Amino acid sequence: MKSRREFLARTPIALAGLAVACGDRGGSSAAGGAAGAESAANASARTGATGATSSGAATVASGAALTARPAPLLSAVPANAPVLTWTPKHEDLVYTFGGAAPRHRIRSGTHIITWTEDCFDGAVKTAADLPSKVMPPGHDNPQTGPFHVEGAEPGDTIAIHILKLEPARGYAVSSFGPGFGAIVGTDRTAMLGPDFPETTWRYDVDTAKGVARSQSRDGKHRWEVPLAPFLGCMGVAPSMGEVRSTIVPSFFGGNMDCPEVRAGNTVFLGVNVPGALVSFGDGHYAMGDGEIMGAAIEGAMNVEVYIELIKKQATPVPRIENSAQVMFVGNGRPLEDAARVAYKAMVGWVRAQTGMAEMDAYQFTAQNVTAPIVQLVDPEFTVVVKLDKARLPTR
């Protein structure tokens, strides 16, 4: 199987029948003191979940291009938080959500300092490297993890506070594969014209100036793209023992390719299996809305996150928050189904925060949200619906 097109045509989205592995393969508990169930940071995560804001400095940016950001929900990592510092070896990486034994067992309130490989499994390094020729089949989007969160059970929520994302290499790559794009023919949408050829572009990363630079294949044109690092994949294990490819986004998160999975934001994911089995990867240094060619500017990433467990609070649709905004990530196909998932979740959240009747919440949402198309290339498409919290009406 040499292309993603073949993968999509031949492989079912859910690889049922494979049991979720619960043993620890060479994993270890995070070192350091225990974080209390009602730590200040836990309180911060719970506050974010109910729509209030917490204090904290505006964060972040790419290289020298500093951009004001809303304050994160987590204003500071507790001084006594256990810290897990881990650089995975290549054989530690996994290529599914579910079905992999945990690499580490951690407590709620653990600060993780780690690294992720790029979506090409590190195999594509130059413009001459074609993924179908240099990548092992099935090695798209390698994941760091999974991390077993002690005490996590179905019906709970994992809050992943993204503290830092930094390019781990001085270069990045993007590519196109036949049938893997938003405006080309696929096995489902046939075109009379021939497939475009598989093509790779290499980008040189200038972190000092906050840009990635590339050129046309004939060398006659050059361009640069502002760095805006985020993780294309962040997820937990699906329910019912399912094992999903890392190409797939769904209710468990997965390959959402959402630019809001960035430093300063918190991602909330519902727990489906004991331990949750959190993993992440697929570093994107930048990406245009829609990811219409099937790949972003892809690169390895240095990652810091702070993970908390929120007991007895379900999160059926992935949610992202900072102090100023709440966002829901809808995945589905056709595109309108992805939008409906996110819009419905937002209407429900507005009702919970305000006590408004359903039709009033529907009207309020309709006039106040934005809804970028995140990606149009994966087995399910992704739309993120965003709301400024300051717009919520008072009683």
DSSP 389: G
Question: Per residue in 307-366, pLDDT tens?
Answer: 999 999 999 999 999 999 999 999 999 999 999 999 999 999 999 999 999 999 999 999
Q: What is the pTM of this model?
A: 0.83
CB atoms within 10 A of CB 151: 14
Closest-CA residue to 269 (of 379, 373, 154): 154
pLDDT, position 62: 41
pLDDT, tens only, 20-60: 333 443 443 333 333 333 333 333 333 333 333 333 333 33
Q: Which range has the worst mean pLDDT, 20-29, 258-267, 337-346, 386-395?
A: 20-29
Show the domains of the chain with their CATH numbers: 4-177+204-315 (2.60.120.580)
List residues bridging with 279 in a β-sheet. Answer: 235
- Residue 63: predicted pLDDT: 43
State the pLDDT at residue 359.
97
- pLDDT at position 68 is 64
pLDDT in tens, 77-105: 999 999 999 999 999 999 999 999 999 99
Residue 64: its pLDDT value, please? 39
64 compared with 294, residue with greater pLDDT = 294
pLDDT digits 0-9 by tens, 146-193: 999 999 999 999 999 999 999 999 999 999 998 888 888 777 777 777
The share of the chain scoring above pLDDT 70, in percent, equals 83
Residue 191: what pLDDT?
A: 78
Asked if residue 299 lies in contact with residue 118, where contact means CB atoms within 8 angstroms, the answer is: yes
- pLDDT over 90 (residue 12): no
Q: Residues 211-256: pLDDT tens digits?
A: 999 999 999 999 999 999 999 999 999 999 999 999 999 999 999 9
**Sheet (strand 96-97) strand order:** 14-15, 243-245, 96-97
Helices 358-368 and 335-354 meet at what angle, rounded to 10? 120
Q: Return the beta strands (E) in 78-167 as ranges.
A: 83-85, 96-97, 104-106, 110-116, 143-149, 157-167
For 44-92, give the DSSP string.
Answer: HHHHHHHT---------EETTEE---PPPS--S--TT--EEE----GGG
Quote the pLDDT of residue 236.
Answer: 98
| pLDDT band for position 65 (cuts 50, 70, 90) | very low
